[in-house]
């Protein structure tokens, strides 16, 4: 997990009555003064309740190069147990959707942990809140890493006869174009599976992510096209997938080839 940057001077403790009405807008403007007005307003629109009294605003912007976090915390956190007490703004680099979603999931997991919640509630100053956030995020990152493990990749001496080309495409138009190209280039036996993107599934099935739906451009119904081809033709078929992905205007999709250790096709496939 890429390291996060906690802005210590932008983590403040205040009474609930002192919280700005448009707290996400105020924090975003304070974090990066040169942010465009539309981006600042977008942060306000993307406020998501994480539960346990935590509110999260998030937005992607080219103004930052790493996950950047600022926050308000209620000084009277114990006076109303059911009330909101922590308000976070997260600015993400303007990059891949998966990276954004991964960080949101990471933060959500950290901020739903009872021990982390207890530690944050006990923090009485902005500096202490910032230090605690840094500590819990770093610990959670280390739990998901295997530092010191060296992976050595060796080329296989086995000759691969077949590869499976897999293309994940958004929209029927790209699928129609790819299958047309397959017919024109004598690629047979492709299988099409309908699916949905990770962001769409989380938004639909986990209330925690319901407010993230509009944050991701590449959500919704996907089509997975799979075709087993002779190994020497896999580059050609990947090029057909590239044409289908980029030729429909949206440029949304991904494709790869997998070596097959074994393949059977009773009746000629």
CA angle (122 as vertex; 117, 127 as ends), nearest 5:
100
Residue 90's Cβ-count burial label (10 Å; 0-12, 13-18, 19+) is buried
**CATH architecture, range 162-268:** 2-Layer Sandwich (3.30)
CA distance 221 to 200: 8
Task: Please give the helix or strand (H or E) that residue 202 lies within, else none.
Answer: helix 198-205
pLDDT score for 81: 72
Given a cut of 60, is residue 104 above it in pLDDT?
Answer: yes
- Can you tell me the distance from the alpha carbon of 68 to that of 88, in angstroms, rounded to the nearest whole number? 10
Domain ranges of the chain: 4-143, 162-268
Going from the C-alpha of 253 to that of each of 84, 107, 155, the distances in angstroms are 39, 27, 28
CB 200 within 8 A of CB 210: no
Q: 231 by DSSP, 3-state: which? A: helix
pLDDT tens track for 161-174: 899 999 998 878 88
Q: Which token pair is 188?
A: 């047979």
Beta bridge partners of 60: 92
Q: Which residues of 62-78 are buried (b: 16+ CB within 10 A; e: fewer)?
A: ebbeebbbbbbbbeebe
The CATH class of the 4-143 domain is: alpha beta
| Mean pLDDT computed over every residue of the chain | 80
Q: Quick one: tokens of 65?
A: 């190069």
The residues that bridge with 253 in the sheet, in sequence order, are 169
pLDDT tens per residue across span 214-264: 544 445 578 999 999 999 999 999 989 988 888 755 557 889 999 998 777
Distances in Å between the Cα of 210 and the Cα atoms of 8, 213, 228 are 29, 6, 37
Ranked by mean pLDDT, which of 122-126, 142-146, 208-212 comes out on top? Answer: 122-126
SS3 221: strand
Whether pTM > 0.75 for this model: the answer is no
pLDDT of residue 91: 92
pLDDT at position 89 over 90: yes
Burial class (CB in 10 A: 0-12, 13-18, 19+), 212: buried
């Amino acid at each position: 997990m890429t390291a996060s940057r906690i802005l210590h001077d932008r983590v403040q403790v205040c009474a609930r009555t002192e919280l700005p009405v448009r707290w996400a807008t105020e924090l975003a403007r304070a974090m990066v003064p040169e942010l465009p007005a539309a981006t600042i307003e977008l942060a306000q629109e993307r406020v998501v309740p994480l539960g346990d009294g935590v509110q999260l605003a998030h937005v992607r912007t080219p103004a930052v190069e790493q996950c950047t976090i600022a926050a308000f915390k209620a000084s009277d956190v114990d006076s109303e147990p059911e009330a909101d007490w922590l308000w976070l703004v997260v600015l993400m680099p303007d990059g891949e959707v998966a990276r954004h979603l991964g960080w949101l999931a990471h933060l959500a997991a950290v901020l739903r942990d009872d021990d982390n919640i207890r530690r944050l509630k006990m923090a009485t100053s902005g500096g202490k809140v910032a230090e605690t956030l840094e500590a819990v995020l770093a610990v959670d990152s280390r739990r998901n890493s295997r530092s010191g493990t060296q992976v050595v990749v060796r080329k296989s001496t086995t000759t691969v006869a077949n590869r499976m080309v897999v293309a994940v495409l958004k929209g029927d138009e790209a699928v129609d174009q790819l299958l047309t190209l397959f017919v024109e280039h004598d690629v047979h036996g492709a299988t099409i599976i309908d699916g949905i993107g990770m962001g769409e599934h989380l938004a639909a099935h986990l209330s925690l992510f319901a407010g993230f739906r509009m944050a991701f451009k590449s959500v919704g119904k996907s089509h997975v096209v799979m075709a087993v081809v002779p190994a020497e033709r896999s580059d050609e078929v990947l090029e057909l997938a590239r044409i289908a992905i980029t030729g429909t205007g949206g440029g949304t999709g991904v494709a790869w080839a997998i070596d097959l250790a074994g393949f059977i096709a009773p009746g000629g496939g």
